[in-house]
Amino acid sequence: MKQHHKNNLLRWLKGFMQRHMHGMITCKEFEDFVLDYLDDELPALQRSRFERHIRLCRECKQYLKAYQRTVEVSRAVFPAPDDLVPDDVPEDLINAILMARKN
């Protein structure tokens, strides 16, 4: 089987599972819940569904790890909200960090 067809089949199966398995959330819902998950603010049932999704979805597992690393780096680089940002830091990076901190 060609890799392209295999990837399409895997994406289809993943979508089917997310729509039809009891207690599954979609990747979009996963993204919507990331901040509450990291802040330990998800209700028990939602947390359970979120963690089930992490176990089954490689892409979201990678997304979560990258998100956590981004938050760690932003806190290390900008420990206080009132610290000045150096002029050579790209504006889109600053905006991404500010959005992560705001949430």
Q: pLDDT-derived band of residue 23, with 50, 70 and 90 as boundaries?
A: confident
Residues 6+ apart with CB under 8 A from 18: 24, 25, 26, 27, 53
Tokens of 34: 């990331």
* Confidence (pTM): 0.57
How far lies 73's CA from each of 22, 76, 86, in Å?
A: 36, 5, 15
For residue 41, pLDDT beyond 90: yes
- Domain ranges in the chain are 3-102
Share of the chain above pLDDT 70, in %: 72
Q: pLDDT-derived band of residue 63, with 50, 70 and 90 as boundaries?
A: very high
Q: Residue range 24-31: average pLDDT?
A: 86
